[in-house]
Amino acid sequence: MAFFNKRYHPAGTSPGTLTKTPAPGAESYRLRLYDYDSDQLKIFDDTTAKACTPYLESKTVSWVHVEGRPSERTLRELGEAFHVHSLALEDILNTGQRPKFEQFPDQLFIVMTLPVMAEDRIESHQVSLLLGTNYLISFCETDFSPFEPIIKRLQAGAGRIRSAGADYLLYCLLDLLVDRAFPVLEAFGFKLETLEDQILEAGDQDTLAEIHLLRREMILLRRTLWPQREVINAMLRGDCPWIRETTNLYLRDCYDHTIQVMDLLETYRDMASSMLEIYLSSVSNRMNDVMRVLTVIATIFIPLTFIVGVYGMNFDRNAGPWSMPELGEPLGYLMVWLAMLVIAVGMVMFFRRRKWF
């Protein structure tokens, strides 16, 4: 996830402007319509905005899903066909929005994010939702696949999904988007546990990079997930005429999930911070152990080297009785070895008693 992923107009652009953005792979979009009630389900694939309009006005529930990135011209047409406010259209076009909830006179406009695990990194795509009297319009940059489970449930016709209204369908999509965070968090939890084992024993520079990556992803994930909680809370508090009482119970369950997601994320951040501290201490401890042993070795040999240096001096033994008489002693050499042994053992014992190694 990039640090800055918001698309924006230059400051001062008129609100609701849909600038001609040469988006990569622009004008590749596909519009699908699901029109259903408890008795039947009609699916229109690759259809057009105009063809959908009569269904939006019918009594049956209609779900229009726009996949891919429509060009600004197409988006304007869609906007006109579905009576979408220009501010909402601007937010749909300029992806990278913060999840938001806005009640327009005709429609409820909701922006959510869909986190997708791509290898080790997380990507997040914007999903825009518009709820009207008995229709739901959804926009998603990526392909259909994340919404397959809902479509399968529509086709199966089991449960409440076919008999309940567009607001229940909205709940189903929100619930799906929120629940997508769980496998991501499960993977994070697993990584944290793996890291935890490394940290106390053999953490190295890679461990550090790994901790950093995890924290980074969590900070960025938090940025997209935190506002989702507010969005669903706003729906629960608000008196939207399009959301029925019976759906609120399900939304509360969904709200609980957003809280649980944030709870996990906060716990993970605490854990990651704690682990970085422990990692640092652990590295420092290991380094200290190495340095202490090495320094002790050096320290033991330094006086010994001095002693052998002394008897390597070339003072003329013939100059007088005080000029290195030791060199002439028959047991001089052995005495020096003995002295050095005593010093070495003494120092080792001294260091040991002080627990220096």
Residues in 2-31 at the binding interface with a copy of itself, rule: CB under 8 A: 2-4, 6, 8-16
Regarding 324 and contact with a copy of itself (CB under 8 A), the answer is yes
Regarding 229 and contact with a copy of itself (CB under 8 A), the answer is no
Which positions ≥6 away from 6 have C-beta within 8 Å?
A: 94, 96, 97
Within the chain, where are the H helices?
A: 49-57, 72-82, 86-93, 148-156, 166-179, 181-202, 205-237, 245-310, 332-353
Q: Which stretch binds a copy of itself (CB under 8 A): 24-32, 64-72, 126-134, 187-195?
A: 187-195
> Interaction with a copy of itself in 65-104: which residues (CB under 8 A)?
85, 87, 97-98, 100, 102, 104
Kindly write out the interface string for residues 270-289 of this chain, putting x where it contacts a copy of itself by CB under 8 A and - elsewhere: xx--xxxxxxxxxxxxxxx-
- Cβ proximity of 120 and 83 under 8 Å: no
d(CA 117, CA 144): 16
Choose which of 315, 342, 345, 349 interacts with a copy of itself (CB under 8 A).
Answer: 315
Choose which of 308, 338, 341, 349 interacts with a copy of itself (CB under 8 A).
Answer: 308
Choose which of 299, 338, 339, 342 interacts with a copy of itself (CB under 8 A).
Answer: 299
Choose which of 182, 244, 339, 345 interacts with a copy of itself (CB under 8 A).
Answer: 182
Query: In this structure, what are the phi and psi dihedrals at residue 37, rounded to the nearest 5 degrees?
Result: -135, -170
Angle between helices 205-237 and 166-179 in degrees, nearest 10: 160
- Residue 10 is classified by DSSP as P
In a 3-state reduction of DSSP, which class is residue 153? Answer: helix
Q: What is the side-by-side order of every strand in the sheet holding 61-69?
A: 41-44, 28-36, 61-69, 135-140, 121-131, 108-118, 100-103
Choose which of 37, 106, 141, 175 interacts with a copy of itself (CB under 8 A).
Answer: 175
Closer residue to a copy of itself (CB): 45 or 266: 266
Tell the smallest beta-carbon distance from residue 81 to a copy of itself (Å): 21
Choose which of 126, 147, 169, 225 interacts with a copy of itself (CB under 8 A).
Answer: 147
Choose which of 117, 259, 338, 339 interacts with a copy of itself (CB under 8 A).
Answer: 259
Q: Which two tokens stand for residue 142?
A: 């990526």
Q: Which stretch binds a copy of itself (CB under 8 A): 30-38, 64-72, 126-134, 263-271?
A: 263-271
d(CA 25, CA 42): 30
Regarding 170 and contact with a copy of itself (CB under 8 A), the answer is no
Angle between helices 181-202 and 205-237 in degrees, nearest 10: 150
Q: Which stretch binds a copy of itself (CB under 8 A): 34-42, 49-57, 61-69, 298-306?
A: 298-306
Which positions ≥6 away from 135 have C-beta within 8 Å?
A: 55, 56, 61, 62, 63, 64, 166
Choose which of 43, 189, 233, 348 interacts with a copy of itself (CB under 8 A).
Answer: 189
> Interaction with a copy of itself in 45-64: which residues (CB under 8 A)?
none
Closer residue to a copy of itself (CB): 59 or 355: 355
